[in-house]
Amino acid sequence: MDVLWLDRSDVQSLLDMPSTIEAVEKGFEQHGLKKVQMPAKSYLIFEKHNGDLRTMPAYMEEEDIAGVKIVNVHPDNRQRGLPTVMGVVVLNSTQTGEPLVIMDGTLLTDMRTGAAGGVAAKHLARKDSHVVGMVGVGDQARTQLLALSKVMDIQEVKLFCRNVAHCDHFEKDMSHVMNCEFLKKEKIQDVCDCDILVTTTPVREPLVMSEWVQEGTHINAIGADAKGKEELDPGLLLRARIVVDDLVQASHSGEVNVPLSKGMITAKDICCELGEIVAGIRPGRQSDDEITVFDSTGLAVQDMVTANMVYRKALEQGIGQNIRMF
């Protein structure tokens, strides 16, 4: 039996942000309609190495897609010359269980997470949003901003990061794919004066204070993806309409996990899941004055729909290597 192998260069040649946004939005819709099987992601925590390893299985019942992603998060990897996040995705036949494709999941993870932010902004940000504030300028910040540029007319981007060289590198990279003004700011407070705020840091203490955020702002909170992580002041969450990607998963590993565990907010303070909005079950933004927060933990359904899109394109274009399994 042969299995198709797709390395990073293969995946990169087959992925683009508009089609990823389309696939991920469909995945959220199916999640909102309860047409998926998706156990909560499981974690192996490596405290002495400041990292973890996660497994993320899912079955899309309507599309008949199933598989699993194995992915790490090691924030110190930059110092080692490695990505913070690396992953492998396997898609399996639902009829026989045989593996169909094994592909690099590192770029795929960045792209589908960025696409989720784009989908969230499409449904939750004000339609006249033009200014983006970025707290953090790593790999994930790049795909977040790229996705926003596909769903909004972005004219100005405010950047905050502690390393000026990283800000310069980010601006140089993104200037090739976006036609807008980039402004570097010395304080987080200064980037919060925006229409859409994106936070992509792995911190365990809030960085963004409630008093810095104006009414009408939409926030994509991306960095908190494991127990104990939080980027936003709980007081800000109490002012906002909170939308999560998955209620169970967000409760133990999303932006809301710490304030929930400390009793600062309750489950009643969480509006709904993004898939319910995409599916038309719940409304999106309800007023221009509303503060909205999308708590993104990253769902296996996002991986499966994106990986399936890559797999189908690879078959059509004859890309990848067939490897003998047995």
In this prediction, residue 268 carries a pLDDT of: 95
For residue 161, the model assigns a pLDDT of: 84
- C-alpha–C-alpha distance, residues 174 and 18, integer Å: 16
CB neighbour burial string for 166-202, b if at least 16 within 10 angstroms, e if fewer: bbeebbeebeeebebebebbeebebbbebbbbbbbbb
Residue at 15 is within a domain: yes
Is 69 part of the annotated catalytic residue set? yes
> What total of structural domains would you count in the chain?
2
Note whether 75 and 40 are same-domain residues: yes
219 falls within a domain: yes
pLDDT of residue 13: 98
What is the model's pLDDT at position 215?
Answer: 98
* Within-domain flag for 74: yes
**Which residue, 24, 26, 8, is CA-closest to 87?**
8
The verdict on 287 and 145 lying in the same domain is yes
**What pLDDT score was predicted for residue 163?**
85
CA 177 remoteness from chain centre: 19
Q: What is the pLDDT of residue 277?
A: 98
Same-domain status, 154 and 266: yes
Low-confidence ranges of the chain (pLDDT < 50): none
Query: Is the same domain home to 295 and 169?
Result: yes
210 located within any domain: yes
DSSP 122-186: HHHS-TT--EEEEE--SHHHHHHHHHHHHHS---EEEEE-S-HHHHHHHHHHHHTT--SEEEE-S
Q: Are residues 163 and 94 in the same domain?
A: no
Same-domain status, 143 and 279: yes
115 in a structural domain = no
* Residue 6 shares a structural domain with residue 58: yes
Residues 100 and 195 in one domain: no
| Parent domain of 90 | 2-109+301-324
* C-beta separation of 221 from 255 below 8 A: yes
Residue 257: give its domain's CATH number: 3.40.50.720
**Are 161 and 222 in a shared domain?**
yes
Catalytic residue among 26, 35, 48, 69: 69
Q: Are residues 136 and 279 in the same domain?
A: yes
- Which CATH number goes with the domain that contains 92? 3.30.1780.10
pTM of the model: 0.94
Identify the residue whose tokens are 């274009």. Answer: 317
Mark whether 216 and 319 lie in a shared domain: no
pLDDT reported for residue 118: 98
Same domain, 252 and 316: no
